[in-house]
Structure 1
């Protein structure tokens, strides 16, 4: 089992020290969220809470994930970084591929990209993008990202889709190893997208029963596309597991990496930076012994 830490809702200056400590303690990665802005008025319910309300205030820090990941990569040596998840249909895929490829090269191949759709209509309206086609455009954008960041160094690529179309072009620098792209979401469309186009899948915060159902469906869909024997990351954040044995048991259902929040597992003040780092170290010790 691999272990990742979430970088969400942590004061931005504290992320650097979190990355250093996580690197020293042997964590696999840090997952960074993506939130471009907070609309004062949102015309849709948040899909992951019982009452449809967001669980955070508008001023909660959400730094640009690519900039934060680059900064953390610069002060670490081994640990990886990925988005959880990048709202890909809000962005131009070629410009995103340029950023990702540069990050991968400069970090020494320590970057991955988890992608999602965004649920906020105002994000699409205010950025001049179309919400109606977000799923189809994300399918195409994943293919573009994987083509540009295929791990062959700079090479000619082209793409001819319904929503994105370009002739042969070359982006440089590009990495000498493929940049993993993970699909997020529990809808059947999201699972199909991950199974068909992506290198793995990222769950939302949910319980083990829902994870089992999603993983079983992913297994079916990957077989449909002839991808059942390809490497595939399954990255989860279970809400009903709170000890090392419980986390490790998830490997039996196909989980390859768990996002854990040590400062929520132990009796510490999660708002205290030092207590947070102490919890990160403690969990690493417990995992090593377990």
Structure 2
């Protein structure tokens, strides 16, 4: 099992300190969330809290994940990066493919793309995209990005779908290794999408029990789609696991990447210095002894 550090809700400049420290401490990757903006008024409930309210303030830093990952790749050599998760249907897939391809080349194939749909109606309204078609458009966008970033370097691609349509074109640079695309979401459609077209699945912050339930469903769906033997990452963020035995149980359940936030474990009021100390402490107490 690989260890990933969450880069969520951190000041942009602090990421450039955390990334080299994470690499030195033995983490495999850093996951970066995506939030284009914070609407003052939202007409839907946040799906991951009991009261439907977001648990972060409007001014909470949410650096653009592609820019943040490029900057961190420039100050590291081995550390990998992923979006966790990119709200893909808010974006044009060709422009996204261009960014992903360039980042993959510049980082020397140290990037994976995690994608999700977004639950906020205002995000679609303000970016002039259609919330109704977000699932179908995401399916097509994933196919387009995979075609551009197939691992064959720059090559001619074309796409003719219901929502996106273009003739032969070439995007350069393009990576010499395929960029993995992982799908987020705990809903039945999200799990099906991951099993059907994803190279992996990404969880939200949730309990080990809920993770095992989702992994079991994913296993059944992958068999249903004839993809049980295809390599598949399961990237999770457990909220109620701390000890090595708990992490081993997750690995036995099928987890391949465990995403952690050490400063939430050790420091009630984390500072930049405290976060560095926490990531090193977790590496010493857990990663080194796993």
Map of 2:202 onto structure 1 = 202
Structure 1 residue 166, shift from structure 2 partner = 1.2
Give 1:202 deviation, angstroms.
0.1
Higher deviation after alignment, 212-221 or 30-39: 212-221
Gaps of 5+ in 1: none
Q: Which runs of 5+ in 2 are unaligned?
A: none
SS for the counterpart of 1:13 is helix
Q: Which runs of 4+ in 1 moved over 2 A?
A: 268-271
Q: Is the Cα contact below 8 Å between 1:269 and 1:276 reproduced in 2? A: no
Shift of 1:245: 2.2
Q: Are 1:270 and 1:276, in contact at CA under 8 Å, matched by a contact in 2?
A: no
Q: Which residue is 1:272 aligned to?
A: 271
- After TM superposition, the score normalised by the length of structure 1 is 0.98
- Native 8 Å contact 1:148 1:157 kept in 2: yes
2:259 is matched with 259
Question: Which residue pairs with 2:219 in the alignment?
Answer: 219
Residue 264 (structure 1) shift? 1.5
Greater shift in the superposed pair: 220-229 or 186-195: 220-229
| Mapped partners of 2:248, 2:102: distance in 1 | 34
Listed one character per residue, the Cα deviations across residues 229-253 of structure 1 (whole Å, up to 9, x for unaligned) are 1110000011111122211220111
SS at match of 1:169: strand
Q: Name the residue aligned to 1:82.
A: 82
Structure 2 CA distance for aligned equivalents of residues 225 and 166 of structure 1: 28
What residue is the counterpart of 1:171 in the other structure?
Answer: 171
Alignment pair present for 1:4 and 2:4: yes
Contact 1:215 1:254 in 2 (8 A): yes
1:154 maps to 2:132: no
How is 1:54-69 mapped onto 2 (pairs within 5 angstroms)? 54-69=54-69
Deviation at 1:178, TM superposition (A): 0.6
Question: How much has 1:270 moved relative to structure 2?
Answer: 4.3
Greater mean deviation of Cα atoms: 29-38 or 277-286: 277-286
SS at match of 1:258: strand
* Residue correspondence of structure 1 range 87-236 to structure 2 within 5 A: 87-236=87-236
Aligned residue pairs, count: 289
